[in-house]
Structure 1
Amino acid sequence: MTAQAPATNTTRNGTGRIRMLVQPVICVAIIAGCFIYTSTADLSTTEARTLDLGNIWPLVRQHLWISLIATIATVIIAIPIGIGLTRGPMLRYSKPIITIAGFGQAAPAIGLIALGAAIFGIGTTGAVVALVVYGLLPIIANTVAGIGAVDPKVVEASRGMGMSSFATLLKVELPLALPIIIAGVRTALVLIVGTVALASFTGGGGLGELVTSGIKLRQDVVLIVGALLIAALALLIDWLAHLVELTTVRKGGTR
């Protein structure tokens, strides 16, 4: 049994390297293929206008902006909650709160976005709030798991050196838990980037506008190109987040 562990790790590392090389190539190929097709295909005037780079690029920027705002807000809310659930009186409520946070992912994403629009009105605000709710669970759960995985002896040693509880959290627990927390942030980020596409149904904007237009106007080309661009963007963001995660893990290992 023990002799198989190195082989398994080697296989996983090899698969990870292949993925890191292939994933961005796939993303670039999808994006390039979409623009090559739209520039050479026989499109109607409306389709050509919709799929023009001058129209798509602002949608990409809006998609990324909404994703960034929602992710930052989710991190700001979820990490302190996760930290609070690992200590003091909140420790006993960690499982119920994580379960409640899980309702955000259990609920249909389009339902959350529609609810956000009903509460905050049509536009970006309601979509961002819904995306934050949708992305809470991975970060809260990973923050709790990361801090919980820190060796208690290391914490006791830091306290024995005269460090306060807060200093121990900042200088010992969080740095050691960072790789697991980053993994949760990456998961939330990819979920949010993909789900932003649904924000267009409530006036939130983003690349989902292409999908919405394709459905309303029965333009299959616009619908397919929009879906492919959303998928490529989500894969690209996942790849970039994975690079950050690997860098964090390596730095954590050298401490």
Structure 2
Amino acid sequence: MVNDFFQDDTLQENRNLQENLRNETEQELFRLIETVQPGQRVRTSRLLQNRISCGKVRDILRTPGALVRAVKDSPGLSRLACTGVLPGLPRQELCLRRRFSPRERRGAVVDLNNLLWTLDYATLLRVLETLQAFGVHNLALVADATIYGLISREELASLADRVQEVEVVPSGTPADLRILERAEAGPALIVSSDMFRDWRKSSSWRRRTIWRLRVSLQRNPDAWRGFSFGDSEVELADPPRLQSEV
């Protein structure tokens, strides 16, 4: 009986320690989230990574549906996206991102010339399908007048049937400027491998926002899709159902 008493007491003490650790870890995550712009990676310390990689905090972040349940008591976690580790990161290191805002997440302006310099037409179609599957439904494709050297008019017309709008800017007009104007008006994500360095200092919005909203598309012959969205895929791949519930 005495042994049972001490065992019960020890179990309760361990549960209290785990609960305190979970609360401390959540609070530290909340503070980190506040320091990061939407759509950007939350870079955690090694100590915090170790805490996240074990126990209840890991379960909250990695178990399907657990995050939805957890945010009822911890609203700060609703701004956190996590889909596991990215290729190239240590196995135990989770990749966390602060979510794009709901309005940003629903729309995207695609730099059509840029993508077609990198991908073939069939892969481009998979890019659009993947974005739509990720819940990005308001898609606009923007191209300059040289697009017809990369794609036929028939193929461009076929793309127009798959998205909300295709815009080919007049000759002499930079497509980059129109892409940024549409992204600002949306607001919307910018799908392009272009860094838009020449435009970043042209307005305060561009200086503050291009780096945050840009979703870089990377060619990946080893992947079945033939491409990836890099670090941004952690946030984009978060199921739309989860997005709507948080």
Give the TM bin, normalised by the shorter chain.
under 0.3
Scaled by the length of structure 1, what TM-score is found?
A: 0.21
**Normalized per residue, which structure has more strand?**
2
Which fold has the larger relative contact order, with Cα–Cα distance below 8 Å and residues 6 or more apart in sequence? 1
Scaled by the length of structure 2, what TM-score is found?
A: 0.22
**Normalized per residue, which structure has more helix?**
1
